[in-house]
Amino acid sequence: MKKWASIKDNLPAVGFLIFLIAIWELAARAADVAAYILPAPSAIAMALVDNFSLLLEHTRVTFIAVIGGLAMAILVALILAIAMDRWKPLKQALYPVLVISQAIPIFALAPLILIWFGAGLLPKVLIVALVCFFPLAVNLVEGFSQVDPEAVDLMQTMQANRWMIMSSVQLPFAMPFFFSGLKIAATYSVLGAIIGEWLAARAGLGIYMLRAMHSFRTSHLFASIIVVVILSLTLFKLVELSGWLAMPWQRESNNRLNKANNK
């Protein structure tokens, strides 16, 4: 019943999207707009089907950079958040720097990364990591700061060491914050990989976009945008599923809350 209710709630949005696509198709045909300016949805679908294998290969290259950058961002954010939680002076020194760093656009840093590390996979991974690092680090720091102090005191009373307190209390408590940040980071990661590919790469969705743009194949450009959207949504849903699997206590809490609301 819950699944059907969720599908039913999304029907208006799906219907409106289909309506917009139909209007777009009719307007493009009626106005006889040049294909390089605004292709009809049918032309975009044809470009997507005709170039599916090529798009799949470019997607594979982008996906490798995305996964590498996300993994690096998660590792560094976790280590730094734990360090800032353990040593308060470090948090006071680094946290404002993290916030200020977001004022620097990634387009300004990306050329420097390319100069320092050259063209290839590593610069793209680093750019993705930089894009994803901030939401992960900030959410983890926020999660650790809101851990119930009474639970920590109880573990200390039971003579638990720091690792036991971290693994049994702090990490489980911070996991909802972590997955909230990871959802944002997963969405940003594809953008970071494409920015890296725009600056210097031989393959990837960013390169496919540039080639389509320079050859005025706008339908191919729209097709690559659709693939980017699908990839971003897939990563978002995978993170959502991972959070659902990793936090069974959260599922139980939500089920109890839903039962209470339905009474």
Kindly indicate the confidence band of residue 31, based on its pLDDT and cuts at 50, 70 and 90: confident
**Assigned token pair, 162:** 């720091």
Query: pLDDT value at position 230?
Result: 93
pLDDT at residue 174 is higher than 80: yes
Q: Work out the number of other CB atoms within 10 angstroms of the CB of residue 55.
A: 20
What's the pLDDT score for residue 257?
54
Query: Domains in the chain, start-ordered, CATH in brackets?
Result: 49-245 (1.10.3720.10)
The pLDDT score that the predictor gives to residue 91 is: 84
**Rounded Cα gap, residues 59 and 42, in angstroms:** 22
185 vs 215: CA distance, rounded Å: 32
Q: What percent of the chain has pLDDT over 70?
A: 91
- What is the average pLDDT across 63-90? 91
Q: Mean pLDDT over residues 137-153, rounded? A: 83
182-199: pLDDT as tens digits: 999 998 899 989 988 888
Neighbours of 107 (CB within 10 A): 11
Task: Compute CA 174 distance to the chain's CA centroid, rounded to the nearest angstrom.
Answer: 19
Q: Tens digit of pLDDT for each residue in 227-256?
A: 999 999 999 999 999 988 888 876 665 566
Tokens of 46: 């044809």
Phi first, then psi, for residue 4 (nearest 5°) are -65, -40
pLDDT value, residue 202: 82
Q: What's the chain's length in residues?
A: 263
Burial class (CB in 10 A: 0-12, 13-18, 19+), 211: middle
Query: For position 7, what pLDDT does the model report?
Result: 58
Of the candidates 198, 195, 218, 216, the one whose C-alpha atom is nearest the C-alpha of residue 207 is: 198
Chain-centroid distance, C-alpha 5: 27
pLDDT in tens, 35-58: 788 888 888 999 999 999 999 999
